[in-house]
Amino acid sequence: MHHNTAVRRLRTIAEDCDKASSLLTGEDGLFAVYAFGPVLDHPGEDLDDVNVVLVMGLPAAELPWGVEPPGCTSLAHMLRLDKAPVLRLWRPAEWPVANHEIRRPMLIWSREDGVQTPALDALAERRAEPFRLADADDDVAAEQISRELKLSTAHLRAIRDRWDDIAWRRSHSRNGRYPEDHLWQAVDGFLDLLDASASTTRSLEDNR
């Protein structure tokens, strides 16, 4: 995917959010969408896909790292994110958007201000740096990883404990996805945070 095509894709996502904004309201709805990854880090290079993170009003306990709840899958389908080369991640509004993988993201749409045209125009011209969020301090980032790892652990245990719960399995069998998919996401997110925690701890110790 050429850089210009990637930017057009991000602009389309932002515009689709704007068109559907009346359906995205509510305390647990979509608050914002950010771009991150190679399209920002290596502007001009060809890409396999674009990376976006969608910020939801859901409680953090319902949106642990790497997990896509059934309601979010339905939203992704409504926004046609499953019809294009888009890698999507989800974040609760009560937590920072950025983390160990989402580095210096750029806002492309928000519920309050709509499509972020200046940022997208700047990205098209490969000068988006001023529109990106700053990295968190190392100590702050380490504390956030620890907080998320605890929640991810609790989520993984909850799936194990409800694995034979027919109602839970039924509620997690939608849009072509099954309980096994949610289990995999929970395991993958947990292990990713475990690795990030170990890496961050080593980095902090080396810098002391």
Amino acid found at 191: L
pLDDT single digits (tens) 164-178: 999 999 999 887 889
pLDDT single digits (tens) 150-207: 999 999 999 999 999 999 999 998 878 899 999 999 999 999 999 999 987 776 666 6
What are the residues whose beta carbons fall under 8 Å from the beta carbon of 184, sequence distance 6 or more? none
Say how far apart CA 97 and CA 6 lie, in whole Å. 21
pLDDT single digits (tens) 31-73: 999 999 999 999 888 899 999 999 999 999 999 999 999 889 9
Host H or E run for residue 159: helix 138-161
Instruction: Write down the pLDDT at residue 207.
Output: 67
pTM value is 0.92
Q: Which CATH superfamily is domain 3-131 in?
A: Beta Polymerase, domain 2 (3.30.460.10)
Buried b (16+ CB within 10 A) or exposed e, 119-139: bbebbbeeebeebbbeebeee
**CA-based nearest residue to 54, from 38, 72, 74:** 72
Read off the tokens for 185.
């996401």
